[in-house]
């Protein structure tokens, strides 16, 4: 299949290859629009079906893994339009990928970008990575699992700080919090992620599949309720003047004035 917003490759020995997907919208720092998300899920599911692929690497560019959901595309949504569009159905399909996904991040890992990263299984970050949930700066909240997954990984107080101030953290801070597995120099982060994927590719694919499924079972079982709760609140914010003002101000490159309505 040919894709417009991602680059898809396979590497390695026949029968035990790894699949590599790179997000590729450099002009907007890999902002996640509907088209990119659709392509990403198709590519992930294609690798999941293909027997010779044993592990998947998901990456972006050195400057940005992804700077979040596409604010331009989202800015005019209403509560009803965004709910009916149900983009999260696409995100839910990422959760159902059976093969391990090693995420190689660098540069900006923000908003939906951070949430996408947290859907992966093992994370390698470059030293230049900045990770955060800055949605509060544009009058909304994380909508693709950020309030739930970040809290589980880093704990309540750090999650509160990140989500309520919108300030990003550095790669070494993320490592200390257990949000990423490894931090390596920028020229090595993709290679390191591929090395981990190749290591997994040598194991029994059945054992790998059941191991991933088992870890996610404990991790995901009670999360579904939290995800629905967060989703409703995210939709509700598209009725607010602050969401309109926050996203408009971003697109007009000015500071927002929030009214609290
Ligand atoms: N959406 C759309 N365009 C973006 C985004 C984005 N998230 N981020 C950057 N861009 C665009 C900029 O508008 C700019 O475009 P142009 O050149 O046409 O003006 C280009 O990318 C380069 O960006 P900057 O000039 O701003 O680059 P800087 O290096 O000065 O700044 C930053 C980089 C700090 C990353 C800055 O771009 C920024 O703050 N971006 C927005 C970050 C953000 O708020 N992310 C959260 C978005 S909301 C979200 O993710 C909710 C997820 C919920 C799930 C939704 C599923 C539907």
Q: Tens-digit pLDDT profile for the chain (261 aa)?
A: 899 999 999 999 777 899 999 999 999 999 999 999 999 999 999 999 999 999 999 999 999 999 999 999 999 999 999 999 999 999 999 999 999 999 999 999 999 999 999 999 999 999 999 999 999 999 999 999 999 999 999 999 999 999 999 999 999 999 999 999 999 999 999 999 999 999 999 999 999 999 898 888 877 667 777 778 888 889 999 999 999 999 999 999 999 998 888
Residue 168 in contact with ligand 1 by CB distance below 6 A: no
Residues contacting residue 16 through CB under 8 Å, at least 6 positions apart? 52, 54, 201, 202
For ligand 1, say whether the CB of 192 is within 6 Å of any of its atoms.
no
Indicate which residue's Cα is closest to atom 8 of ligand 1.
67
In the prediction, which pLDDT does 165 show? 98
Q: How far is the CA of 67 from the centre of ligand 1 (A)?
A: 5
Cα separation, 158 vs 180, in Å, equals 15
Neighbours of 84 (CB within 10 A): 10
SS3 19: strand
| The predicted structure's pLDDT at residue 15 | 75
Helix (H, G, I), strand (E, B) or coil at 18: strand
Q: Which residues have C-beta within 8 Å of that of residue 83, sequence separation ≥ 6?
A: 235
Q: CB of 139 within 8 A of CB of 169?
A: no
∠ CA 24-130-139, nearest 5°, is 85
CA gap 32, 50 in Å, rounded = 25
Residue of 60, 68, 111, 112 with catalytic role: 112
**What's the 30 CA to ligand 1 centre distance in angstroms?**
9
Per the annotation, the verdict on 35 as an active-site residue is: no
Predicted pLDDT at 155: 96
Cβ–ligand 1 contact at 230 (below 6 Å): no
For atom 47 of ligand 1, the residue with the nearest CA is 68
Contacts of 126 (CB under 8 A, 6+ apart): 62, 105, 106, 107, 171, 183, 184, 185, 186, 188, 189
Q: Which atom from ligand 1 is nearest to the alpha carbon of 144? A: 54
What distance in Å separates the CA atoms of residue 87 and residue 66, rounded to the nearest whole number?
17
Q: Is 70 in the pocket of ligand 1 (CB under 6 A)?
A: yes
Quote the CA–CA distance of 99 and 44 in Å, as a whole number.
9
pTM as predicted: 0.94
55 lines ligand 1 (CB under 6 A): no
- The answer to whether 135 is a known catalytic residue is yes
Would you state the pLDDT for residue 16?
A: 84
Cα–Cα distance, 196 to 57 (Å, whole number): 9
What is the spatial distance between Cα 30 and Cα 213, in angstroms, rounded to a whole number?
29
Q: Are 82 and 235 in contact (CB under 8 A)?
A: yes
Per the residue annotation, which of 69, 104, 197, 201 is the catalytic one?
69
In 40-62, which positions are buried (b, 16+ CB within 10 angstroms) versus exposed (e)?
bbbbbeebbeeeebbbbbbbbbe
């Amino acid at each position: 299949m040919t894709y417009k917003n991602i680059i898809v490759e396979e590497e390695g020995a026949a029968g035990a290859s790894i699949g590599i997907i790179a997000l590729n919208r450099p002009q907007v720092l890999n902002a996640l629009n509907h088209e990119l998300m659709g392509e990403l899920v198709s590519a992930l599911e294609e690798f999941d079906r293909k027997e010779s692929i044993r592990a998947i690497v998901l990456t972006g560019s050195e400057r940005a893994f992804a700077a979040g959901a596409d604010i331009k595309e989202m800015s005019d949504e209403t509560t009803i339009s965004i709910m009916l569009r149900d983009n999260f159905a696409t995100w839910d399909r990422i959760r159902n990928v059976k093969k391990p996904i090693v995420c190689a991040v660098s540069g900006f890992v923000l908003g939906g970008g951070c949430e996408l990263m947290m859907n992966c299984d093992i994370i390698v970050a470059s030293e230049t990575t900045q990770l955060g949930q800055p949605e509060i700066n544009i009058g909304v909240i994380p909508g693709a699992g950020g309030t739930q997954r970040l809290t589980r990984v880093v704990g309540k107080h750090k999650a509160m700080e990140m989500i309520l101030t919108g300030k990003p953290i550095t790669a070494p801070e993320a490592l200390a919090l257990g949000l990423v597995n490894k931090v390596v120099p920028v020229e090595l982060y993709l290679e390191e992620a591929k090395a981990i994927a190749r290591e997994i590719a040598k194991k029994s694919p059945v054992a790998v599949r059941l191991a991933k499924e088992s870890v996610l079972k404990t991790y995901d079982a009670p999360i579904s309720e939290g995800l629905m709760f967060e989703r409703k609140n995210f939709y509700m914010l598209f009725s607010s003047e602050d969401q309109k003002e926050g996203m408009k101000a971003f697109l007009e490159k000015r500071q927002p004035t929030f009214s609290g309505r």
